[in-house]
Each structure stands twice: as structure tokens, then as C-alpha cells.
Amino acid sequence: MVDPITLLAFIPAALALNLTPGADMMFCLGQGLRTGPRAAVAASAGVSAGGMVHVTVAGFGLGAAVAAAPWAFDVIRWLGVAYLLWLAWGAFRHGFEPPETLPRAARRAFRDGMMVNLTNPKVILFVLAFIPQFVRPEAGSVLGQFLIFGAVLGVGGFVVNGAVGIFAGRARVLLTGSPLAGRILGYVTGTIFAGLALRLAILERS
């Protein structure tokens, strides 16, 4: 369905994008600091799952409708801002997660990663701008090609963001013996989430 030469051209471009620091990477970094490596990997998986939803929507052509409707763009964007601020508030209040809550924290991290990605309309605009450059309608199903390219982006993002989150989670493990360090980690994580909310609310509006 996808020409091998086109796929070979897409992979390094996708990897370069995955390695570029952005909101998803910072979110996984924050999750790693707050809840440890396992939750950071779960958050990365959630981000990739959200990305695949965006790719599927774009492949069906619905993304163009969202991009053409400023009110829909803003509704999604402000939902994302509110969700990130809620996560920031939780981090400020509760700090890092204690070990006994890690399984639950991992499930919540997956949900949070997916929600943060889904409520960032810039993602679907990026998908609409980037992936069509490699789609060849004459090669077969356009949706199928979108899904293949989206999977490449998703796998690369999962590995890179997960590695960043694991690094942050390992650093967290070294600091959780101190209640003061735990509070500091909570403040750092809350600041990261609040910064992402500010970025989505103001800097990404243009």
C-alpha cells in the first residue's frame, strides 16, 4: 500500500520530529517525575494512542473540517487547557505518587496522556500538514496510508517519550526518600503541566 521508497523517506523525517522536544515529551517527563518509570511509559503509550485517533480522523477527512471551524478548534483547545490545569493542581496538592498506588497511577497516566493529546488541536493540524506530503492516492487507500504513517510516528514517539519519562522516573526514585524532595517534585511537575496549559492557551493560538 505504501511505496517502500516513500516509507524510507518518511521514517527519518518522523524520527527527527519525535526527537524534537515538544508538549508530549514534556508531559511524559512530568509524569515520570511524579509517578515513576512505569507510569511514564503508560503516559507515552496514551500519547501515541491519542495520536493514532488524530491520524484516523484526518484520514477520514474530518480533520479538515475541524481545521476550517475556528470555534471547534477553540473548544478543543480550552478543554485541553482545563485538563492540564487540573493535572497541575493535583500535582501541586499531592506531590509524587507513593509506591502502593503505582498500578492505578499507570492506568491514570495512560488516560491522561491520551486526553492531553486528544485535546490538543494542533496535533491534528500537524497531521494534516505533514502526512499528506507522503500519501499517494494512486497507491491505494488514503486512510490505510495515513494509518501506516501514523503508526510509524506513534511507535517512534512512544520509544522517545517513554525513554525521557523513564529517565525522569529513575531520577524520581533517587529523591523519594525525602518528604521535602517529594514536595519539590510535585511543584516541578505541577509547573510543567501548568506551563503546557499556558503554551496551549496562548503560544499555540497563532
pLDDT digits (tens, 9 = 90+) for 48-97: 999 999 999 888 877 666 667 777 777 877 888 888 888 888 878 765 55
110-133 pLDDT per residue, tens: 999 999 898 887 788 788 888 888
* pLDDT above 90: residue 43: yes
pLDDT higher at 162 or 171:
162
Per-domain residue ranges of the chain: 22-205
42 vs 119: which has the higher pLDDT: 42
Look up residue 36 and give its DSSP letter. -
Contact 165, 45 (CB under 8 A): no
Q: What percent of the chain has pLDDT over 70?
A: 84
Angstrom distance (rounded) from CA 25 to CA 89: 20
| pLDDT value, residue 94 | 64
How many Cα atoms sit within 13 Å of 205 on the Cβ side? 10
pLDDT > 90? residue 178: no
Residues 6+ apart with CB under 8 A from 104: none
Provide the whole-model pTM.
0.81
